[in-house]
Structure 1
Amino acid sequence: MNKKEKYRNPEAVLDVQHMFAMFGSTVLVPILIGINPSIALLSSGIGTLVHMLLTHFKIPAYLGSSFAFVATMQALMKADGYPAVAQGAIASGLVYVVVAIIISKIGSGWVNKVLPPIVVGPIIIVIGLSLATTAANDAMMNNSKYDLTYFGVAIFTLVMTLVFQMCFKGFTSLVSIMLGIICGYILSCCLGIVDFSGVEKAAWFTLPALDVPGISYHFKWYPAAILAMAPIAFVTMTEHMGHIMVLNSLTKRDFFKNPGLHRTMMGDGLSTIIAGFIGGPPTTSYGENIGVLAMTKVYSVWVLAGAAVSAIIFSFVGKLAALIESIPMPVIGGISFLLFGTIASNGLKILVDDQIDFGEKRNMLIASVILVIGIGGAYLQLGNFQLTSVALSTIIGMLLNWILPKKAASEKAQEEKIKQEKQEGKIYQ
């Protein structure tokens, strides 16, 4: 669809559908880490437009808040506040930029060698399961005490989301997260556990609460935050490339060649850098919006650009930001049961799809070490410097993949024995 056609096509109103598709997940990330959701809407809208500009308005993709960084951002927020998160976000965006430059020079074949499925799959499982305790606490705890009412709201939210996901089709299924949150919110209102004071005080229209380095806060280096978040960018890159592959299949085009993987990577990286500079979480391409594209068969970039503009406009609605912030934690916990589990399941899916053989010692060892270090919460502490469990397991996984031989000595010996027995006629082929 060219630029003129978008004004004549009534399907241009689909931009609202795309905004709803990304809305639930995009605002949930800032809630989980403790920042203003309006900033996430603003940064996702701006980031999407920047990505489109870098890719010459050829790729119909929406960039929303990334869940991959949540556990690390939560740890950084508790230790040093948002300035540390911002530097980590900017660093992860710069990793994208560097990789994009390398890809433009030598191609992308090396990416799969550095991050094969046996490394990426377990790391994604770690990202999902490392958040499991957070989801459970949000669902059960009211001021550090177990609350049956809270847990009931959480389970109701989860069940309603599953109902929308499994018993409905089309757009209703695609926005099941948002609908589940709405149902949980309504029940919470009936039970009197929603605080509306913030909504009443909020202005209808207000500037998003930007957190800009050197302006909103004094600039200070946080090397631990940089080293904690930067490695995770390598994991989200695989998600990025997977989404591009799906878009290639849907649109019957080859976006790896035109506009090129280096441009899509660069756009994603710059989007995350911008988010870090204005106070938002890192961004990534959204499968929810790809689902809308598959459902509607409308692959117009301009429809998604409209969704990005709508997100930017909504970020200035103060009442909306306050309403989102009033969502009770058991509602967030209930939806997190599904979301965090889905992240982990996607890691399993990578291992299954690529037919990883766990009969091979090398695969078993790499996956085992990544899973226990990551899910167990092991971290590296050197003075004030801390490398979080997700980042540590990512780095160790990449090192093990590089260091370990393709075959264990015992496996080589067994193969040689079988080969020799075949030659001697002891084993018949």
Structure 2
Amino acid sequence: MEAKTNGTNPHLTIGVNDHIPTGQAILLGLQHVLAMDVYVVPFIIAAAVSMSPGEASGLIQSTFLGAGIASLIQVLFFLKLPVCQGPSFVPVGAIIGIYLGGNGMSTVLGSSLVGALAITILGYTGIYKQIVRHFIPTIVSGTIIMIVGLTLLPSAFNGNIFIETATLSMNQNILLAVITAVILILFSMLGVYFPRLGKIFRISSVIIALIIGSIVASFMGGMDFTSVSEASFFSLPNFAFIDYGFDFDLSAIATMIVIYMVLLAETTGTWYAVSSVTGEEITDEQINQGVIGEGFGCLIASLVGTTPVTGYSTNAGIISITGVASKVVFVAASVWFIVLSFLGKLSALINAVPAAVIGGVFVVVCVIIMLSGFRVIKNEEFSERELYIIGVPLIIAIGLLFMPAELKGTAPQFVQYLLDSPIAVSALAAVAMNKLIPVPKNS
């Protein structure tokens, strides 16, 4: 059964509102799930606060469940664009501080719950729509997209590729990442140069790269299925109202509300990235609905026992690579997340994919996200003003990526929370420079 194509972007194989067979949607949804690497955030938090293996596993499963429900909320009811929600990296530093300084997860979830309610109200009142209209024009949104891609690259290299594991050396991990990235590009380009023969390869290029990369890793001795054999087939996530409860601390709530505001700047950049690669113009009203959906998604996330969620730019990169933007695929990805949250063995199997294999896909996706930002601003007239609005935030982002930990540690705790998110600080810098640098009179 052929997919019906009505996309507004000629680079797409399947458009946003186009039909796609269920079997294909299930497969393509899985490749989004695999490439998003959503277990990284809960894993970082669990390790930083010394959670037990059972608590860490429960947090990861809760993260899958929260991501799945939040994604369905956005795709079907609010933003109505092909996006997937996943745990945001923005509040990680703040969450660790709140956890250690309060009553553990109950304080984290209590402050997250109140923050989610606050941004939901922001969406319903229409205030955020006005903020975007006046503070985030094309030049700013494109810069934010570029920053998202740029700042994710170091974590792809340092966290996934330039590492040594118990079974693989650093050289082997680098080789795995190169093989996976080359396969991804090869199959994606087959679809470009041979549209009829290569269409299926382009559509499935991400999952093909992950499968072949994992097979190569197994020959290197890098696939460990111990966790899969030990995992329970069926297990429950840790729900907030059952396993943790809610603790409402005023300073934690104030911190989380500020973090949520910063997170909205990040997710707005993601929406513009998706809009750019799909050719679907995003309206002020749609942005407002997206904020409401973000609020509801984060509210659900706190209730099921996980951290705030946000739209993932990774998906925009995958859409650009595969040419598939159908919302049906993202509904399938959402269902995958929900299923995985209850099936311990399937979650363990996904987690068994070597980090370097995921890194090979991740670095390509990051570059595509960065260039998607350039695509957004390429039609702007570039005077010195625009060069500074784009360039200075990029400098800040790179500077924060390389900031020594001891220098960061001298800042007040609240400032440290922000410094842990180069995306947030750079986005705020782009907004500020666009407002502070006057437009030349002859423009």
Question: Structure 1 residues 343 and 197 mapped into 2: Cα distance closer, same or farther (>3 Å)?
Answer: same
Mapped contact 1:33–1:77 kept (Cα < 8 A) = no
Question: Structure 1 residues 287 and 375 mapped into 2: Cα distance closer, same or farther (>3 Å)?
Answer: same
Question: Structure 1 residues 372 and 108 mapped into 2: Cα distance closer, same or farther (>3 Å)?
Answer: same
Task: Choose from 345, 357, 371 the match for 2:394.
Answer: 371
Residue 126, structure 1, aligned to residue 143, structure 2: no
Residue 343, structure 1, aligned to residue 369, structure 2: yes
- Residue aligning to 1:155: 178
- Residue aligning to 1:236: 267
Aligned-pair CA distance for 1:193: 1.8
Mapped contact 1:92–1:231 kept (Cα < 8 A) = no
- Residue aligning to 1:63: 84
Question: Structure 1 residues 51 and 126 mapped into 2: Cα distance closer, same or farther (>3 Å)?
Answer: closer
Q: How many residues align?
A: 383
Mapped contact 2:205–2:322 kept (Cα < 8 A) = no
Mapped contact 1:39–1:280 kept (Cα < 8 A) = no
Task: Choose from 208, 212, 219 the match for 1:190.
Answer: 219
Inter-partner Cα distance in structure 2 for 1:102 and 1:339: 35
Bigger Cα displacement from structure 2, 88-97 vs 110-119: 88-97
- Residue aligning to 1:403: 436
Aligned-pair CA distance for 1:16: 1.8
Question: Structure 1 residues 203 and 338 mapped into 2: Cα distance closer, same or farther (>3 Å)?
Answer: same
Inter-partner Cα distance in structure 2 for 1:166 and 1:52: 28
Inter-partner Cα distance in structure 1 for 2:334 and 2:323: 19
Inter-partner Cα distance in structure 2 for 1:91 and 1:356: 42
Aligned-pair CA distance for 1:91: 7.7
Residue 164, structure 1, aligned to residue 187, structure 2: yes
Give TM-score scaled by structure 2 length: 0.70
SS at match of 2:232: coil
SS at match of 2:224: coil
Inter-partner Cα distance in structure 2 for 1:185 and 1:263: 39
Inter-partner Cα distance in structure 2 for 1:329 and 1:273: 30
- CA deviation digits over 1:193-242, x for unaligned, max 9? 222221110011111x3363894387452755553453131242254366
Whichever residue aligns with residue 227 of structure 1, its letter is V
Within a 5 Å distance, the mapping from 1:284-299 to structure 2 comes to 284=311, 286-287=315-316
Within a 5 Å distance, the mapping from 1:13-412 to structure 2 comes to 13=23, 15-17=25-27, 19-26=29-36, 28-31=37-40, 34=43, 38-51=61-74, 54-55=77-78, 59=80, 61=82, 63-65=84-86, 69-70=88-89, 72=90, 75=93, 97-103=120-126, 108=129, 111-137=132-158, 138-142=160-164, 147-168=170-191, 169-207=198-236, 209-210=237-238, 212=240, 215-216=243-244, 219=247, 221=252, 224=255, 226-228=257-259, 230-240=261-271, 243=274, 262-278=288-304, 279=306, 282-284=309-311, 286-287=315-316, 305=331, 308-352=334-378, 354-357=379-382, 359-360=383-384, 362-377=385-400, 381-383=411-413, 385-386=415-416, 387-388=418-419, 389-407=422-440
- Residue aligning to 1:426: none
SS at match of 1:283: strand
SS at match of 1:130: helix
Whichever residue aligns with residue 38 of structure 2, its letter is V
Mapped contact 2:120–2:292 kept (Cα < 8 A) = yes
Mapped contact 1:170–1:295 kept (Cα < 8 A) = no
Whichever residue aligns with residue 236 of structure 1, its letter is T
Aligned-pair CA distance for 1:295: 5.6
Mapped contact 1:158–1:335 kept (Cα < 8 A) = yes
Inter-partner Cα distance in structure 2 for 1:245 and 1:371: 20
Inter-partner Cα distance in structure 1 for 2:256 and 2:128: 30
Mapped contact 2:71–2:334 kept (Cα < 8 A) = yes
Inter-partner Cα distance in structure 1 for 2:176 and 2:213: 6
Inter-partner Cα distance in structure 1 for 2:223 and 2:323: 37
Mapped contact 1:87–1:226 kept (Cα < 8 A) = no
Bigger Cα displacement from structure 2, 74-83 vs 46-55: 74-83
Give TM-score scaled by structure 1 length: 0.72
Whichever residue aligns with residue 193 of structure 1, its letter is G
Mapped contact 1:40–1:281 kept (Cα < 8 A) = no
Identical counterparts, % of pairs: 21
SS at match of 1:141: coil
Question: Structure 1 residues 330 and 192 mapped into 2: Cα distance closer, same or farther (>3 Å)?
Answer: same
Mapped contact 2:144–2:427 kept (Cα < 8 A) = yes
Mapped contact 1:51–1:267 kept (Cα < 8 A) = yes
Whichever residue aligns with residue 232 of structure 1, its letter is L
Whichever residue aligns with residue 203 of structure 2, its letter is L
Whichever residue aligns with residue 382 of structure 1, its letter is P
Mapped contact 2:276–2:372 kept (Cα < 8 A) = no
Choose 1 or 2 for highest CA Rg.
Answer: 1
Whichever residue aligns with residue 135 of structure 2, its letter is V
Whichever residue aligns with residue 16 of structure 1, its letter is I
Inter-partner Cα distance in structure 2 for 1:289 and 1:152: 22
- Residue aligning to 1:422: none
SS at match of 1:381: coil
Whichever residue aligns with residue 121 of structure 1, its letter is G
Inter-partner Cα distance in structure 1 for 2:62 and 2:175: 31
Unpaired runs of at least 5, structure 2: 1-18, 44-55, 192-197
Whichever residue aligns with residue 222 of structure 2, its letter is I
Aligned-pair CA distance for 1:17: 4.2
- CA deviation digits over 1:84-136, x for unaligned, max 9? 98689768755752442243xx8946523211122222222222222322222
